């Protein structure tokens, strides 16, 4: 069974940093591109970052470029999102998602909430 389990969310003040983790199981992690997608309270879905299967290439949404870094560790089947210079508008539930061969997310984690407030 494919599982994606996010962790690391919490409350931080503006300007601070936080690292999210997404532990995966049930599939060959090293063969899939992975994504982080976020959802602000009561709002829609926004792509944050993606990393290809071997970790050699990454891409970011415009609103987080230069502040967030996505990475992966194939020895731990885990993808990370290092978030820096956090702003109140970064407050959201952050989902980890697996991209399949259809160019879409076939599996999603349960999400982890990041609160940015002074």
Partner 1 sequence: DVVMTQSPLSLPVTLGQPASISCRSSQSLVYSDGNTLLSWFQQRPGQSPRRLLYKVSNRDSGVPDRFSGSGSGTDFTLKISRVEAEDVGVFYCMQGTYWPWTFGQGTKVEIE
Residue 23 to residue 32: CA distance in whole angstroms: 14
21 is a contact residue toward partner 1 (CB under 8 A): no
Q: Which of residues 39-58 bind partner 1 (CB under 8 A)?
A: 44-47, 50
CA within 13 Å, CB half, 117: 7
Which of 109, 116 has the CB closer to partner 1?
Answer: 109
The answer to the question of residue 103 lying near partner 1 (CB under 8 A) is yes
Q: Which stretch binds partner 1 (CB under 8 A): 8-16, 24-32, 84-92, 105-113?
A: 105-113
- Beta strand 10-12 with 112-116 is parallel
Does residue 99 bind partner 1 (CB under 8 A)?
A: yes
Name which of 75 and 104 has its Cβ closer to partner 1: 104
Phi-psi region of 29 (alpha: psi -120 to 50; beta: other; left: phi over 0): alpha
Residue 1 near partner 1 by CB under 8 A: no
Q: How far apart, in whole angstroms, are the C-alpha atoms of residue 100 and residue 116?
A: 32
Q: Are 114 and 62 in contact (CB under 8 A)?
A: no
**Number of residues lying near partner 1 (CB under 8 A):** 23
Cα gap 77→79, rounded to integer Å: 7
Residues that bind partner 1 in the complex, under the rule CB under 8 A:
35, 37, 44-47, 50, 59-62, 95, 99-100, 102-106, 108-111
């Amino acid at each position: 069974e494919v599982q994606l389990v996010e962790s690391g969310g919490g409350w931080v003040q503006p300007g601070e940093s936080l690292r999210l983790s997404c532990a995966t199981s049930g599939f060959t992690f090293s063969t899939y591109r992975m994504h982080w997608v976020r959802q602000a309270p009561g709002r829609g879905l926004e792509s944050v970052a993606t990393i290809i299967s071997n970790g050699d290439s990454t891409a970011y949404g415009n609103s987080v470029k230069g502040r967030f870094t996505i990475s992966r560790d194939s020895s731990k089947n885990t993808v990370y999102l290092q978030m820096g210079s956090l702003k109140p508008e970064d407050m959201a539930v952050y989902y980890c998602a697996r991209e399949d061969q259809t160019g879409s997310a076939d599996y999603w984690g349960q999400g982890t909430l990041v609160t940015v407030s002074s």
